[in-house]
Every structure is written in structure tokens, then in C-alpha cells.
Amino acid sequence: MQISNLLSNDVIAVGLKAGEKEDVISRIVDLLSDSDAVTDLDAVRKAVLDREKLMSTGVGKGIALPHAKSSAVSATVAALATIASPIPFDSIDEKPVQIIFLLVGAPDSQSEHIRILSRISRMMNSERFVSELLSAATPTELLEILSSKESNLSNSS
């Protein structure tokens, strides 16, 4: 599954002004409010925040990949945000986070969930790609950058 197929302008925030980690996660979950695949936004929020309490999803290099499984979604959903000012996220490298990719899957979507997380992790390993995402001024631009990178990744596999 292409990550760019999970995203649209409605679930992308550029330059999000954020406070604490829980607040920003909650605000990114709110981006999913119009998704037909989400049946209970509060249950999704709880699942993501509960998963985050188990272990931080701050993967380093200014990136966080909060994710969860929830019966409150009928299909995999995602959201993406760049943060105006980096925020502490208990990341493995102890650096603040400025890019957050949220993924929520149905309980039976284990293999798809892992494939998507793996794919976004590979993409985020490119410092140039991360820099381009941070320079995006609009959700459309951010989505175009992601789609282009994903296409290049597919062509080189």
C-alpha cells in the first residue's frame, strides 16, 4: 500500500503550533475526524495515547511515528504533520520532534501496519527528504514531496 494513498490535504497539517506531546498527538488525531473509516475518534485518540505511554514513538532525527490498532477504524488511516517549533517527545536520541506521522490500523491489519511503518521509516532515513518535508508550505506541497519520494523508493526496489 502506498502511504500517499492514505493521505489527503484534510489529514495533513503544516506548521502546526503545538504544546506538549499529548496535546500534539491529540490534535493530529483530530485531523482524522472526517474519515469515513473512523467510527469513534475518542477511541482512536485513547488507543494512540495509550500506545505512546507504553513506549515513545519518537524514532530520532526529529521524527515521531505514533501508531496504534483500534476497532474504532474500519481501515488503516494516517495523518501527517510538521510542527512549527520542535517539541520534546522522549525520542530515542533525546532530540525534539518536528515531523509526526500517525498511523492507526484495524486490529486485523498487523502485516499491513508493519509494512507501512517500515516504508515510512525508510523514507524518513533520508535527511534531504526530511528537510524537504519541513520546507513544505502547504499540505499539497507536502503530499507532492511524499508522493515523489515514495515513487522513487518503489522504482529503486
Residues taking part in catalysis:
67
d(CA 135, CA 66): 22
Surface-to-core class of residue 41, CB atoms within 10 Å of its CB (0-12 exposed, 13-18 middle, 19+ buried): middle
User: Pairing state of beta strands 58-60 and 12-16?
Assistant: unpaired
Reduce the secondary structure of 59-79 to three states and give it as a string: EECCEECCEEECCCECCCEEE
In the chain, the largest separation of any two C-alpha atoms, in whole Å, equals 39
